[in-house]
Each structure stands twice: as structure tokens, then as C-alpha cells.
Amino acid sequence: MAENCKSRTRAALFSLILLCSTFSNLNLIPVAEAIWFQIPSSGTKCVSEEIQNNVVVLADYYVINEDRPEHTPLVSAKVTSPYGNNLHHSENVTHGQFAFTTSEAGNYMACFWLDDHQQQAGTTTLSLDWKIGIAAKDWDSVAKKEKIEGVELDLRRLEGTVQSIHNNLIYLREREAEMREVSERTNARVAWFSIMSLGLCIVVAVFQLWHLKRFFEKKKLI
């Protein structure tokens, strides 16, 4: 009996791990992944991420100068929400971080630029480690606070991953419903516009025939 219980537990755990791995490969779970990009000598470089509501976001960034490693240029950073709210702003820094919980769904944008007096500093590279949702959770603190470790901690992580998958599927379903509604409204408007255009063409054609008939009658051609 105990062996059957252990076998079922192992099978369920393996299935859960396989499910999470599959959805991770499908990019349905936000994954922490640092990105590197170059900041132009003049202008602004921005990156954006579409995030749903009530999601924790944690990011770290730092700057290096590939041409002159001993001289690290200073940059300014600004993070805005989909409705233009300022979530983070810093000036003249070589590194920094920002953290917030989203209050609205949409594209969150982080922009970086060099100060005016450093526009000739050479090639400036910035590393941005953007963590979202389950990836931003501090599992070490959770383990210490709740005094869990080993398999129990792994199961807690898997539970969080499954919840993240569930939330993402709900978000995608809501977005699909919104897009379908917009598409149906657009199709209805196009159909009404086509009907109105056809009716207008018929009215113009009738008016032209009536006008030509009166013209020919006045000229006594018919």
C-alpha cells in the first residue's frame, strides 16, 4: 500500500514537472533572463514587456563601457506604466534597480539614455535583468520564514509555477475575448458602412436617371 502511494506521488510529481517544463518552453511563464543592449551616444533606448495586472516586477541594471572599461558612463533611467505613470526615475547612475507591483495590464516600458555631456563616451552597453512574477520571488526568504527545504520547497515552487500558468491562461483568454469583441464590432461597422455605401450608390443612380429623363423630356428627345 505504501509502495503504491509513493509510486503515485512520484508519478504526479513527474507529470507536474513535465507540465511546467512544457509551458515554460511555450513562453507562458515569465522567465528571468538578463538582456544586453547598446545605448546610442544620442537618443534613448527603450525596452518593453507586456505584463498583466497584480504581478510583481523586479529588475537590476548596470552599465559598462566596452571601449574604455576604466571609464563607466552615467546614464538616466525611467520606467513608465501603460498609462504613462512614472514608476522609476534615476539620473547620473552606473547601476540601479526598481521594483513594483503592476496595477494595470499592458506594456511597461523602461528607457535609458546618456547625459548630454557624455554623448561621446563610446560604446555603452547596459545589462538589464528583468524578473516577473514567480521569477521575482525570493525563495530563500520563503524557505527561512516558513522553515521548509528540500522536496517541500520544490513543491512550493512548482505550485507557484502552476499558479502562474493558470493566471497567464486566464489573461490570454481574457485578451482573446477582448480581441474577438473588437473584431466583431469592427465587422459589424464595416457591414453597416457597406450597406450605407450601397444604398447611397442606389440613391445617386436613381437621381441620375431621373435627372437624365427630365433633361431628355425638356429637349423633346423622348
Tell me the CA distances in angstroms from 155 to 2, 36, 148, 161, one per residue in order.
20, 32, 10, 10
Q: Does 135 lie in the same domain as 158?
A: no
Taking only the tens place, the pLDDT of each residue in 122-149 is: 568 888 988 887 776 766 666 677 777 7
User: In this predicted structure, what is the pLDDT of residue 164?
Assistant: 76
For the record, the C-alpha cell of 152 comes out as 517541500
Decide if 196 is inside a domain. yes
* Orientation angle between helical segments 151-218 and 139-146, nearest 10 degrees: 130
What is the rounded average pLDDT for all residues in the chain? 78
pLDDT exceeds 50 at position 65 = yes
Q: Does 177 lie in the same domain as 89?
A: no
Decide if 24 is inside a domain. no
**Predicted confidence band of residue 28 (pLDDT cuts 50, 70, 90):** very low
Residue 45: which of 77, 67, 71 has the closest Cα? 77
Decide if 21 is inside a domain. no
Tell me the CA distances in angstroms from 153 to 52, 188, 201, one per residue in order.
26, 52, 71
| Whether the Cβ atoms of residue 153 and residue 143 lie closer than 8 Å to each other | yes
* Range(s) of the domain holding residue 94: 35-145
Q: Does 41 lie in the same domain as 87?
A: yes
Q: Does 201 lie in the same domain as 118?
A: no
Q: Does 158 lie in the same domain as 120?
A: no
Taking only the tens place, the pLDDT of each residue in 164-177 is: 788 778 888 888 99
Taking only the tens place, the pLDDT of each residue in 87-133 is: 999 988 889 999 898 988 889 999 999 876 655 555 688 889 888 87
**One-letter amino acid for residue 90 of the chain:** S
Q: Which position has the higher pLDDT, 213 or 13?
A: 213
Q: Does 180 lie in the same domain as 86?
A: no
- State how many domains the chain has: 2
Q: Is the pTM of this model over 0.85?
A: no
**One-letter amino acid for residue 36 of the chain:** W
Residue 55: which of 160, 177, 173, 179 has the closest Cα? 160
Decide if 12 is inside a domain. no
